[in-house]
Amino acid sequence: MAEHEEILERMRASIVAADETEAMAAAEAALAAGIEPLTALEEGFAGAIRAQGEAFSNLDIFLPELVLSAKAMQAGVSVLEPALKAKGIDAARSGVVVIGTVEGDLHDIGKNIVVAMLRSAGYEVHDLGTDVPIPNFISVAEQTKADIIGLSALLSTTMLRQKDLIELLNLKKIREDFFVIVGGAPVTEAWMNEIGADGYGLDAHMAIEVLDSRTK
């Protein structure tokens, strides 16, 4: 058991050190040593990334450190995933998110921060990048069995595309299948209400809060 604890500690350390290679090696070691994949996920990676998230909130670490920790976690989890799946366990404990910056808009730094925070909060995130045509959000969401679609837009002109997504979901009669969250500098509560989105985030913290407290 001491060996197990040592490996779990290695996993945690790899997240804090934001070391992708070490996170993958530690995850392999965990599986090889017979640690339950769910234990490895929860006690190895998840706790460590949550702690990094808290450290960021407490201003003890800076954003690049959190982003790199989330990247290390993603790499490590990819090693655990087949074993988790074999046991019927979903690694995405908090939800599956399809996210991107809408068509016509190339701004993505805010969206990238949200992605890192979502990953550190246990979401499986499919990041489609920038300038994403609206139908792509829906097709990927259907393929990945996502429950959340996140749309970012920095410009008041491209913000209109967020409305298009809701309309398209309505047309396809699958609106109720997804929690739609919108974000970006021009996005307001009034805009969310106007287009009929389920939530909006003024920043990454708010986005996570909204998603964590969703009931849909």
Partner 1 sequence: MASHNPLKILSEDQVQTIYQTALGLLENIGVVFKEPRARKYYKKAGAMVDEESQRVRISADIIEAAIKQAPSKFTVHARVPENNVEVDFQKLHIEPMIGRLNILDIDTGERRRTALQDVADLVRIADAMENYHLIHSGAIMPAIEGVPLHASHAYGYLASVRNTGKVVKCSPRGRQTAEDCIRMAAVLAGGEDELRKKPHTFTTVNPVTPLQHDKGQTEGLIEYASYGIPIDVTSEPQAGATAPVTLAGLLAQQTADILSGITLAQLVNPGTPVWYGTCGTIMDMKGGLIALGAVEAGLINAASAQIAAHLGIPCRGTGSVTDSKVLDIQAGYEKAITLFMATLGGINCLFYPGVLEHALTISLESLVIDNEICGMAYRALRGIDVNEDTLAVSEITEVGPGGNYLGQKHTMEFLRKEQYMVKLSNRFSREDWMSRSGGKSVWDQAKDEVRRILQEHEPPSLDTDKEAELETILKEVEARGPEPSRVSL
Which of 156, 136, 151, 153 is CA-nearest to residue 197?
Answer: 151
Binding mask 93-112 for partner 1 (x = CB under 8 A): -----------xxxx-xx--
Q: How far apart are CA 73 and CA 41, in angstroms?
A: 9
What is the size of the binding site for partner 1 (CB under 8 A)?
30
Block residue for tokens 């246990």: 122
Q: Which of residues 31-70 bind partner 1 (CB under 8 A)?
A: 59, 62-64
Q: Is 157 in the site for partner 1 (CB under 8 A)?
A: yes
Considering the complex, state which of residue 140 and residue 160 has its C-beta at the smaller distance from partner 1.
Answer: 160
Q: Which of residues 132-151 bind partner 1 (CB under 8 A)?
A: 134
DSSP state for residue 149 in the 8-state scheme: E
Neighbouring residues of 65: CB distance < 8 A, sequence distance ≥ 6:
18, 52, 56
CB of 122 to partner 1, least distance (A): 19
Q: Is 82 in the site for partner 1 (CB under 8 A)?
A: no
Residue 134 CB-density burial (10 A; 0-12 exposed, 13-18 middle, 19+ buried): buried
Q: How far apart are CA 6 and CA 180, in angstroms?
A: 41
Q: Which of residues 164-193 bind partner 1 (CB under 8 A)?
A: 164, 167-168, 171-172, 185-186, 188
Q: Helices 63-86 and 47-57, interaxial angle, to 10°?
A: 160
Residue 158 tokens read as 């491209």
In the chain, % helix, strand, coil (3-state, to 5) comes to 60, 10, 30
CB of 138 to partner 1, least distance (A): 11
Q: How far apart are CA 53 and CA 35, in angstroms?
A: 25
Q: 168 near 138, Cβ under 8 Å?
A: yes
CB of 172 to partner 1, least distance (A): 7
- Residue range at the interface with partner 1 (CB under 8 A); choices 15-23, 80-88, 89-97, 162-170: 162-170
CB of 105 to partner 1, least distance (A): 7
Q: Is 25 in the site for partner 1 (CB under 8 A)?
A: no
CB of 112 to partner 1, least distance (A): 8
The contact set with partner 1 (CB under 8 A) reads: 59, 62-64, 104-107, 109-110, 113, 131, 134, 155-158, 160-161, 163-164, 167-168, 171-172, 185-186, 188, 203-204
